[in-house]
Every structure is written in C-alpha cells, then in structure tokens.
C-alpha cells in the first residue's frame, strides 16, 4: 500500500490487473471514516465524499439537504459557492447526487491547483454547511403570494427541488419505479421517494432539515473515495487538516436493514396521470418485481447478473423474446433488468402499452418461461454469451459520460455504503472465473432461476394504469391545500410570508465577495488542446485480383484488451421519404436476420462475438457554410480483441446479407423506438425545445427537429398507423431495402482502435468489409426557406421547458468564439440567478451551436413560461447596458475551454478525433478556435450580442403540459401536439387567438 497518513490506518489493498489500478482501503482512527483510494496512472483525479442518508418519508429531506449544503459554509460564507466554483474552475466533472440511500459530492479535474481548490470548498460545504433558512426556502420549498406583496392574492408553493421533482415525476418511468419500490420495500427506506414527492415536500420543516444534517453529515457516516495519480496520504492530510480533526466519533450507526420478506406474492394496481386529450387505450404498464438478496454478496450478485443476462440480454433471450413478441403489450417495460444500486438486488420484467385486464395472462406467461428455464435450462452457448457480456462490461475502460474514475468509484460505493466488500465489486475476475466453471453444469442457471425467481415469494405484480383526471385532481388538491393554509394565516403570518419573499429576493440580488473563493485563471489553461493522432493505411478487398483499396484510420490506445471498429460510408442521395426513414433504418439494421439466420440466431451470434453492434448516421455543416452539409452512415462495433475477426465477419454479414422480410420484427422494433422516444420527452425537454426553436434557420437545424426532435416523434406516431397491416409493413420493408442498397454501394472507409501491437492484424481483418465503390456520392444540399418559429408543444409534463433561438454563424466565422463564450457569460451573470434562484426552475442557461449556427437560451423543469422568456430578453439588455468585470469574461472562457479539454475514454478520444477530422474539424482548426476563445474580450461579447441577438430574429419554442397550453396561446405561440390528430385541433385553437449541458446539484 502507499504511504499512509498517521491519522489513518490501512485496512486492505488489491491490485486489479484487468482495470490497471490498485485499490486501497483505509480507516480514520478517530472517527471511523472510510477512505477508498483507487491508484491509477491517470492525471484526471477524482474526489467524492458520500454520506449514508436514510430518509423515513418522501419529503425529500436528503435531496433538499444536498442542494442546501452547497449554498454556503463556514469558510466560504457566500450565497452560491457551488455555482461560483463551476465558473472559477477547469473541472471535468462537478456535481452532487442524491440516491435512495446515499448522498454524494463528486468532482474531477486534470489540474492539480484546481483539484486542491475544489477539495477545499467541497470539504467545507459538506461538513461545515451554514444551512441558511433562506437557502432552504430557495432550494427546498416556500410559500409565496402569487402577487408577491398582495396578501389577498392566492398562495403558491415555490422552490427548486419542488419544481425539479414535479418535472422528474412527470416521467412515467419514474412513477413506475417509485410505485414498484413502495411495494417491494414495505418497511425500509426504499419505500419512500428520496428525491421527494411534490405533494410531500412542503411537509418538511427547516428544523427537520437541520436535524437530518446533524445526524447524517458526520465523518463517522462518511465514505471518502479518490481516484488518480495523487497518493492516498496526500488526500488524507487534507481530509484531516480541513475537516476530520474537528470531529469526535458519532454515537450512532446509519444503516439500511434487510427487508422483511413477503410470504406470498403481492398484486397491486395504481394509476398515473395522462392528459384527457390523449387516448387512454393501451397505455397501461404491467411489471413483475422480485427482491433477490444482499447486494454485498458478490457471488450471489454476479449470479443474479448472469441470470438476468441469460433471460433478458437480447431478443433471443427467453424472457426478452416473450416481452418483445407478446400480443399483450406494445413493447418491453423501460424498467426491465437487474438493479444493484440498493441494499438488495431487484429484478424487474414487464411490458408497456397494455391493458389492466391482461395482467393475469402476462404473469402466467412470464412464470411459464421461468419454469421452462428451471426445468430445461438454456443452451450452454447462451449462458457463455451472457458471461461474455459481463466480462466485456468489466474490462471496458469508460469515461465518455462520467469520468472513468468516477464510474469505478460509483461501482464500489454500493458495497461501501452497506459496509460490505467495496473492493470486491471492482475485483471480480476470480468470481467470473468461478462462474465459468459453474456454468458448465447445465443445472446451474436452471437452479438459479428456480431459487431466485420461481420459489421466491417476495414478488410484486404492479399494474400502473392511466387516469385522465389524476393530474387535475392533484392540481385541485394542491390549490385546496394552499387555500386552507391561507384561511388559517394571521395578519402577522401573512406579513412574514411577504417579508421572507423580500428577504430572499434581496439575498438573491446581493453581490457576494467572490474573492474569498479560490480560483484558476486563463494563465492555468494548458496552451495546447490535447491531441490524439492516428495513422492512415490502405486495405485491399479479399476478392482475388481486386485492385481497389479503401482507407483505414487506426489509433493506438489503451483499451484493456478490447477492439473498437467502424465502417463509415458516405451518405448517398435520398428522396425526402427515405431521409425521413433513415433513423429507423439504422435502428433496425443490426436487429434483423442475416442470410439464412433469423434475427433470434443473429442476436445469439452478436452476444457471443460482440459487446455491441449498431448503426447510426452523423451530419455536419461545412466549416464556413451552414447551408451545405455532409453526412455518413456508421456501423459501429466493439469486441474483445480475440474476437475481432469474428466481429468483422458479423459486420460483413450485416451489410451484405441483412434481410428485411421479418415484418413482425420490424414492427416490434419501431414500437420499441416509439416507446423510448415518448419516455425521453420530459427528461430532455430543454434539448427538444431548443431543437424546435432552431428548426427554421437552415436545413441542418430542421433535420435535427424532424429526425430526432418533437416533429420526428409526431411523424413516427403517424408512421406507426401505416403498419397495422401486411401491405403497410411490406411497403416499409421495401423502402428499407432501397435505403440499404444505396448505403451498401457508397464508398467506405474504416476506423479501428486498439492496442498498438494488435493494430496490424486488426487492419487485415477488415479486408472482407472493403467494397468496390470508388466514388463518394455527396448528396446535393436541398433548398431551404428560413422561417420564424413560435410554437408551444404539448407533452405529459407538469413543468415547462422554454427556449429562444437566434440565427448566427458557422465555426470558421470570426464571431463564433465570442458567441461560444457569451453563453456562459449570460448564464453565470444573469440567467442562473433569475431562472433558477428567483424563478425556481431546476436549471437555465444559453449556448452556441456552431454546427447549425444558433445561439439558444433554455430553461429546464421550469414552473414559469412568460417570465422566463422575458428573462432571456432581459439578459441581453443586461449584457448591453450594465457594467461588467473582466473576471466574468474569464470565468466564461474557462467554461468553454474546460468543456473542449474534457477527457473521454481512450477509445472515445480516438473516435472524437476521427469524426472531427472527417468533417474538417481537425486538431489545428479546433486549436485555433480554442486560442481565439481564450482571447475573447467584453467588447467582443457586447458586439456579438448586439449584432445577433436582435428581437426580430428570435424564434421561440416551449415544451409544456396541458396546464401551460393557455399560457402559450396568450403569448401568441402556435399550439403543437405530439399526435397528428390532436395537433390539427391544437393548431386550430392556437390560431383563434393571436435551451446545453451544465452541472446541476
């Protein structure tokens, strides 16, 4: 083990060769705090402190505390140190997270000065939070009068978490999980919604928040976790100096107990709100859930993962096959699979798009499949393929979403939270080896299915049905509650509400002394954008005598024994109809049969050979012309290096022998796509609103809205109505064949990523994929007539997502760097305060998209509409008319460069470099852009703001629920609905009366 600080004692350590890390566990001698350090040769250092948080109601106490703790501490008594540090930092990740039984505060940075700054702020925020009552009112909940100074007006609830959870619980998937958990866990903390139920959040008092903080935010209940090339002892010295030496042991153990098991399965029916103007037919969810045992039992947990893989990994898996093909519903439930994030493992399967009276039949069919598995087992090849997928997941080095170190930390956190073997959850090679031996026994999986599922009485069958009046009843209940509260208020209490609102507004407007916070500056930015270089070689086709060669770009990267490869084909000319169908072609391509193999056989083939295989398209506009764009089709796969030749064979068969005659399969896949896209609306409403607002600027922007946006979702719903008969399906299959024929004949090139010593053999294995096309057929840019967008889109949401967009310039234009910086400048200086703090939205900001030439404002999970759209406008006035400091510009520059420099996984970095080069965004181009970003001045920001953010150029789009419809009409927005029939009615009604990614705690 590394050197240890005297305040800590070493517990254990392990080298994990498959991950290339050493894991070390320590204990703080005085308080018992745990420190888990993952030593790695990686400059992106990660820190996280997690507290076991075990709420006993759904008031959201842990979640609201997570927000409030970041609103000022003893050493940093400013109002908003978290968001201030985001803009004073070069962090690669910075956030706070509330789970069902822990709250965590993680960050990552590649800059040591920055890491030390953030560590100081985080330690003080967690262990010495001020918890100002006004911060609780802002972040949690408060009462205000609708007219702030008029005590005769109606009361309303406000608060960031209150509105966040209204948005989160608009998701049917979230409601499904919370309702299932309520019954799966009748006695433990998982019975409750740790994020908070909107109806219960106002029950939480400030005093209860403070008491929860005192009992849970203590080193004795803390888990410190670190990753990277800083030694454990260095971290420990900081922990001790900044926090731990000030604490005595906590005389209380925070833990989650085991659930009391049911003696017989439970059947329940509950409801979720669905707007009355939507059809209620076939909108019911039916799921079965089991508790499978202790998550800290590594062998049991991996056996459960293997069983879940055997049953559900792909369409050939016995249980997944049932859920995909049953006539009882439209597609598998979004919840299916094994959840290992809690004290006990949860296995769930089920369907959506069903009816309540089909529940008995579905349950019987599921149990019949499980009985067959328990009686007959499954072929060894299928079990081995599921184990192969487990090994791939273990070996792959991630980092393209969360930092890789944070992924490992979160994997280990479950074990640490429940005082189990945290290192064991990372070091699973020996258990995998044991499973390889155990699966040779045909009864192994059969016995696991019988023991864990069939004989397990702790099973819940949940039917979640739509209710067209439920949302209205919830609104009426909230209004009645507020009216009842108001009726009991004394004059003094009314004045107190008014005074609290005033005090909070004054606090939000107050200019804090930011200089007490540490910072990095432009001088700390590395001079060069990280560079990843590959080499280009030519590969010849296999055919004898063939002379034509095609290009392979290959990258050497530390992929831990995996290979990543892609076939890239220039997109040919398509008709308008084919262009609309292109996203659905790419989604079905790798899910169909090949040659004489059915799709079920192909699914087994893929599981045995590859970690993934999927098709997609990419498009980029020219560097200097937004009206010209080019695109490519990509077939992308990954596998263990030993399987690379087999992966190439699989990709060749997919491109040359895919069959579009499995009509029912095509319909199943499109229904699944529709379900996924419908579920994603309330989670990505800000992105969808921004896409809608930008759609009138140019063809690239329109196609984003048409193919991946709300317009595309509506068109997909219409498309599905044409597939109700054999003729419609055959017509669709024929169109897919035509698209595939065109793509198959396009010129190809290849990308391969792996370890240096294997690249030559990887390259030769690509030979079967070389085709005879020699000329790239670049599609001509179709004409496009720009238009102004003023729309309100109706979805199943209790909150709003607002966007305004302005047409701008492409990447090569001299104003593009300043527009990139302007987004962060407006967010940091104006939008965060007005939209989040004062307005109560979960988030808001602005960003510039150089690919479509659009500057876009957005809000996320927002209780307001007109006021937020006005805030967007007012921020422009603030930019142009108020005085500003150079330090504000510097902070915005840091944000842009930090996002450009943010590292990904080794394979992800290589893919990013290749695809950037493919569209002319070479390292030199991006480096030049980055340099210009670092030179942006306040004058530049005001100039581009004045030039491009003109009111007459603004387009507006809002995603909202039925409650926002009238507000949208009053703003002159045309009402659009997600179904074609509803949209026609909505448009008529609308004519009768004249958003980027940022960390959120």
pLDDT in tens, 67-112: 999 999 999 999 889 999 999 999 999 999 999 999 999 999 999 9
pLDDT band at 1 (very low <50, low <70, confident <90, very high): low
In this predicted structure, the answer to whether residue 708 has a pLDDT above a threshold of 80 is yes
Query: Contact 91/118 with Cβ under 8 angstroms?
Result: yes
The string of pLDDT tens digits covering residues 260-317 is: 999 999 999 999 998 877 788 999 999 999 999 899 899 999 999 999 999 999 999 9
Query: Contact 771/744 with Cβ under 8 angstroms?
Result: yes
93: nearest Cα among 103, 104, 101, 102: 104
Which domains does the chain show, CATH number per domain? 8-251 (3.30.830.10), 266-467 (3.30.830.10), 535-769 (3.30.830.10), 790-992 (3.30.830.10)
The string of pLDDT tens digits covering residues 199-236 is: 999 999 999 999 999 999 999 999 999 999 999 999 99
- Please provide residue 573's backbone torsions phi and psi, each rounded to the nearest 5 degrees: -75, 135
Which residues are 267's β-sheet partners? 461
A 10 A CB-CB count for 728 gives 16
pLDDT band at 458 (very low <50, low <70, confident <90, very high): very high
The string of pLDDT tens digits covering residues 582-591 is: 999 999 999 9
pLDDT band at 992 (very low <50, low <70, confident <90, very high): very low
Answer with the residue of higher pLDDT: 553 or 541: 553
A 10 A CB-CB count for 992 gives 8
Query: Contact 856/805 with Cβ under 8 angstroms?
Result: yes
First to last CA, the chain: 34
pTM recorded for the entire structure: 0.92
Query: Contact 815/937 with Cβ under 8 angstroms?
Result: no
Q: What local confidence, expressed as pLDDT, does residue 494 receive? A: 94
pLDDT band at 993 (very low <50, low <70, confident <90, very high): very low
Q: What local confidence, expressed as pLDDT, does residue 778 receive? A: 57
Q: Return the beta strands (E) in 651-789 as ranges.
A: 748-754
Mean predicted confidence (pLDDT) in 379-388: 94
Q: Is the dihedral of CA 391, 392, 393, 395 positive or negative?
A: positive
In this predicted structure, the answer to whether residue 780 has a pLDDT above a threshold of 70 is no
Specify the long-range contacts of residues 207-212, CB closer than 8 Å, at least 24 apart: 208/59, 208/61, 209/61, 209/64, 209/65, 209/68, 209/131, 209/136, 209/140, 210/131, 212/53, 212/55, 212/61, 212/62, 212/65
In this predicted structure, the answer to whether residue 987 has a pLDDT above a threshold of 50 is no
Q: Return d(Cα 445, Cα 423) in angstroms, integer.
A: 26
The string of pLDDT tens digits covering residues 944-955 is: 999 999 999 999
The string of pLDDT tens digits covering residues 20-77 is: 899 999 999 999 999 999 999 999 999 999 999 999 999 999 999 999 999 999 999 9
Query: Contact 381/607 with Cβ under 8 angstroms?
Result: no
Q: What local confidence, expressed as pLDDT, does residue 969 receive? A: 96
Burial of 41 (0-12, 13-18, 19+ CB in 10 A): exposed
Q: What local confidence, expressed as pLDDT, does residue 912 receive? A: 95
Query: Contact 540/748 with Cβ under 8 angstroms?
Result: no
In this predicted structure, the answer to whether residue 807 has a pLDDT above a threshold of 80 is yes
Report CA dihedral (928, 933, 938, 943) to the nearest 10 degrees.
Answer: 60
Query: Contact 117/94 with Cβ under 8 angstroms?
Result: no
Which residues are 344's β-sheet partners? 294
A 10 A CB-CB count for 136 gives 23
Q: What local confidence, expressed as pLDDT, does residue 774 receive? A: 64
In this predicted structure, the answer to whether residue 698 has a pLDDT above a threshold of 70 is yes
The string of pLDDT tens digits covering residues 729-768 is: 999 999 999 999 999 999 999 999 999 999 999 999 999 9
Q: What local confidence, expressed as pLDDT, does residue 775 receive? A: 60
Q: What local confidence, expressed as pLDDT, does residue 467 receive? A: 94
Q: What local confidence, expressed as pLDDT, does residue 277 receive? A: 72
Weakest-pLDDT range from 212-216, 509-513, 575-579, 672-676: 509-513
Q: What percent of the chain has pLDDT over 90?
A: 85
Answer with the residue of higher pLDDT: 19 or 103: 103
Mean predicted confidence (pLDDT) in 402-410: 92
Q: What local confidence, expressed as pLDDT, does residue 545 receive? A: 61
Q: What local confidence, expressed as pLDDT, does residue 388 receive? A: 92
67: nearest Cα among 96, 47, 46: 96
Q: What local confidence, expressed as pLDDT, does residue 1001 receive? A: 29
pLDDT band at 560 (very low <50, low <70, confident <90, very high): confident
In this predicted structure, the answer to whether residue 651 has a pLDDT above a threshold of 70 is yes
Mean predicted confidence (pLDDT) in 862-878: 97
Most trustworthy range by pLDDT among 427-431, 872-876, 884-888 = 872-876
Query: In the predicted model, what is the mean pLDDT of the chain?
Result: 92
In this predicted structure, the answer to whether residue 537 has a pLDDT above a threshold of 90 is yes
């Amino acid at each position: 083990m590394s050197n240890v600080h005297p305040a800590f004692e070493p517990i254990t350590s392990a080298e994990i060769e498959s991950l290339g890390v050493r894991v070390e566990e320590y204990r703080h001698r005085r308080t018992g705090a745990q420190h888990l350090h993952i030593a790695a040769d990686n400059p992106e250092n990660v820190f996280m402190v997690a507290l076991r948080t075990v709420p006993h109601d759904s008031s959201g106490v842990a979640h609201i505390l997570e927000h409030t703790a970041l609103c000022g501490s003893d050493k940093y008594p400013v109002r908003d140190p978290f968001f201030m540090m985001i803009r004073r930092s070069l962090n690669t990740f910075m956030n706070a997270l509330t789970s069902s039984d822990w709250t965590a505060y993680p960050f990552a940075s590649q800059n040591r000065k920055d890491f030390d700054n953030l560590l100081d702020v985080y330690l003080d925020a967690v262990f010495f939070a001020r918890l100002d009552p006004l911060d609780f009112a802002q972040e949690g909940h408060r009462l205000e009068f609708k007219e702030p100074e008029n005590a005769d007006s109606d009361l309303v609830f406000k608060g960031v978490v209150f509105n966040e959870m209204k948005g989160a619980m608009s998701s049917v998937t979230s409601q499904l999980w919370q309702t299932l958990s309520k019954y799966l866990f009748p006695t433990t903390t998982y019975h409750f919604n740790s994020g908070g139920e909107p109806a219960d959040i106002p029950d939480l008092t400030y005093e209860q928040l403070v008491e929860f903080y005192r009992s849970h935010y203590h080193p004795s209940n803390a888990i410190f976790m670190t990753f990277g090339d800083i030694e454990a002892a260095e971290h420990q010295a900081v922990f001790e100096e900044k926090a731990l030496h000030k604490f005595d042991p906590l005389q209380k153990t925070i833990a989650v107990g085991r659930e009391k098991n049911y003696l017989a399965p439970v059947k329940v029916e509950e409801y979720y709100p669905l707007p009355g103007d939507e059809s209620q037919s076939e909108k019911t969810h039916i799921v079965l859930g089991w508790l499978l045992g202790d998550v800290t039992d590594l062998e049991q947990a991996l056996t459960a993962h293997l069983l879940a893989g055997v049953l559900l990994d792909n369409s050939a898996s016995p249980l997944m096959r049932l859920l995909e093909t049953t006539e009882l519903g439209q597609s598998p439930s979004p919840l299916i699979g094994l959840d290992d994030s809690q004290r006990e493992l949860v296995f769930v399967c089920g369907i959506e798009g069903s009816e309540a009276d089909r529940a008995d039949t579905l349950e019987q069919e599921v149990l019949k499949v499980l009985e067959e598995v328990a009686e007959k087992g499954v072929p060894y090849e299928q079990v081995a393929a599921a184990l192969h997928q487990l090994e791939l997941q273990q070996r792959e080095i991630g980092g393209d979403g969360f930092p890789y170190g944070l992924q490992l930390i979160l994997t280990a956190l479950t074990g640490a939270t429940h005082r189990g073997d945290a290192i064991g959850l990372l070091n699973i090679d020996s258990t995998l080896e044991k499973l390889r031996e155990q699966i040779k026994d045909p009864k192994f999986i059969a016995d696991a299915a019988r023991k864990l599922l069939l004989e397990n009485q702790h099973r819940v069958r949940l039917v979640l049905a739509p209710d067209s009046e439920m949302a209205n009843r919830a609104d009426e209940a909230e209004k009645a509650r507020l009216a009842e509260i108001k009726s009991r208020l004394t004059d003094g209490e009314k004045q107190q509400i008014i005074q609290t609102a005033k005090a909070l507004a004054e606090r939000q407007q107050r200019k804090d002394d930011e200089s007490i916070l540490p910072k990095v500056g432009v001088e700390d930015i590395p001079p060069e954008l990280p560079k990843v270089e590959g080499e280009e070689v030519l590969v010849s086709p296999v055919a004898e005598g063939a002379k034509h060669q095609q290009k392979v770009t290959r990258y050497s990267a530390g992929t831990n024994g995996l290979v990543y490869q892609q076939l890239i084909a220039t997109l040919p000319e398509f008709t308008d109809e084919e262009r609309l169908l292109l996203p659905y072609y790419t989604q079905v391509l790798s899910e169909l049969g090949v040659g004489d193999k059915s799709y079920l056989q192909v699914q087994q083939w893929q599981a045995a050979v590859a970690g993934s295989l999927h098709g997609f398209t990419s498009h980029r506009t020219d560097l200097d012309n937004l009206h010209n764009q080019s695109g490519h089709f990509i077939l992308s796969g990954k596998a263990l290096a030993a399987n690379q030749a087999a992966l190439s064979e699989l990709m060749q068969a997919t491109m040359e022998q895919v069959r579009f005659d499995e009509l029912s399969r095509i319909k199943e896949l499109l229904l699944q796509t529709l379900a996924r896209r419908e579920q994603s609306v309330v989670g990505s409403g800000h992105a969808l609103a921004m896409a809608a607002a930008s759609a009138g600027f140019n063809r690239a922007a329109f196609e984003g809205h048409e193919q991946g946006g709300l317009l595309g979702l509506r068109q997909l719903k219409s498309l599905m109505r044409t597939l109700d008969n054999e003729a419609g399906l055959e017509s669709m299959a024929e169109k897919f064949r035509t698209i595939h024929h065109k793509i198959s004949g396009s010129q190809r090139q290849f990308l391969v990523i792996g370890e240096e010593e294997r690249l030559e053999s990887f390259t030769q294995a690509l030979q079967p994929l070389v085709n005879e096309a020699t000329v790239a057929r670049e599609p001509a840019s179709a004409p496009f007539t720009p238009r102004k967008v003023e729309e309100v889109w109706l979805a199943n949401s209790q909150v709003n997502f607002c966007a305004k967009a302005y047409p701008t310039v492409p990447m090569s234009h001299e104003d593009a760097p300043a527009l990139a910086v302007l987004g962060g400048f407006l967010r940091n200086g104006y939008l965060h305060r007005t939209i989040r703090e004062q307005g109560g939205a979960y988030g808001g900001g602005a960003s510039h998209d150089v690919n479509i030439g659009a500057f876009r404002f957005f809000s996320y999970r927002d209780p307001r509409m007109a006021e937020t759209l006005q805030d967007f406008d007012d921020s422009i006035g603030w930019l142009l008319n108020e005085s500003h400091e150079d330090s504000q510009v510097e902070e915005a520059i840091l944000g842009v460069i930090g996002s450009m420099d943010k590292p990904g996984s080794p394979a992800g970095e290589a893919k990013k470099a290749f695809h950037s080069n493919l569209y002319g965004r070479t390292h030199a181009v991006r480096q030049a852009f980055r340099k210009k970003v670092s030179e942006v001045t306040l004058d530049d920001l005001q100039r581009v703001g004045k030039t491009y953010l003109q009111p007459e150029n603004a387009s507006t789009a809002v995603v909202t629920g039925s409650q926002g419809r009238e507000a949208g009409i009053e703003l002159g927005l045309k009402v659009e609905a997600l179904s074609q029939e509803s949209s026609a009615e909505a448009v008529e009604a609308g004519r009768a009366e004249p958003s980027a990614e940022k960390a959120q705690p």
